[in-house]
Structures are given as structure tokens and as C-alpha cells.
Amino acid sequence: MAADRRSSWLKGVLDLLVLSCLTEGEGYGYEISKALAEAGLGEIKGGTLYPVLNRLEEAGLVEAEFRAAERGPGRRYYQLTEQGRSHLATESGAWLTFHTAVQTMLKTGGHR
């Protein structure tokens, strides 16, 4: 039940979290997944993460570059575009405002 709840909550904010993982520079899928898990968000599987990355790329919020590896499979590295940085700043502010409203409701039961 807890995994279902977490999955439901993540749906609305996963795009922002993925963009946030790329603010310090480029990264590839496994690195992003690992960063999200280390932040306490649980395991984000490739079947969830890669569609998000593809959607962000199609929207022009990230750019991707495939690089061959000397050993093992190549990787797609993602980095924020300027549009992605702007989107992250705007949407992060909106999310934090929403989060504050939810937090207030939970603490006060809707009574001010």
C-alpha cells in the first residue's frame, strides 16, 4: 500500500525532480534514479524514468546525447536546456506554494 501511495504522489512531481537532478550538470538514467532513491523517494524503475526523460526531451526541457562506452553499453546523457532551467524555476515555485497549502491543511485540519 505504501508503494502505491508513493507512486501516486510521485506522478505529479517526478518531472520536476528529474529536472532538479540535472541542475548541477549532465547525468544518465541510472545516476538520476540513484539520486532520487538517495533522496528518499524510493526506487524509480527504468519503465517509469525513461518515458519521463523522453517527454522532457520532446518538450525541449532537456537535451540528450548518446555516448559509446569503451566497455559495456553506451549511455544517453541528459542536460538541462535554458528552457528547462526556466521551467524548473517556475514550476518549483508553484509546487512549493501547493506543498505549503497541503501542509497547512494537514496541520490545521482546514481551520485557520
pLDDT at 11: 84
Residue of 25 and 12 predicted with greater confidence: 25
The mean pLDDT value of the chain amounts to: 92
CA-CA distance, 87 to 15, in Å (whole number)? Answer: 11
Q: Is the pLDDT of residue 4 over 80?
A: no
Query: Residue 69 contacts by C-beta under 8 Å, 6 or more apart in sequence?
Result: 75
Amino acid at 90: T
Please tell me the pTM assigned to this model.
0.88
Let me know the angle formed at the C-alpha of 56 by 38 and 99, rounded to the nearest 5 degrees: 55
Q: Sorting pLDDT into bands at 50, 70 and 90, what band is 1?
A: low
Render pLDDT for 34-51 as a digit per residue (tens, 0 to 9): 999 999 998 999 999 999
For the chain, how many residues are written? 112
Please state the separation of Cα 7 from the chain's center in Å. Answer: 13
What percent of the chain shows pLDDT beyond 70?
95
Kindly tell me if the per-residue pLDDT of 10 is higher than 90: no
Could you give the domains of the chain?
A: 2-108 (1.10.10.10)
Average confidence (pLDDT) over 70-92:
94
Q: In the predicted model, what is the mean pLDDT of residues 11-31?
A: 95
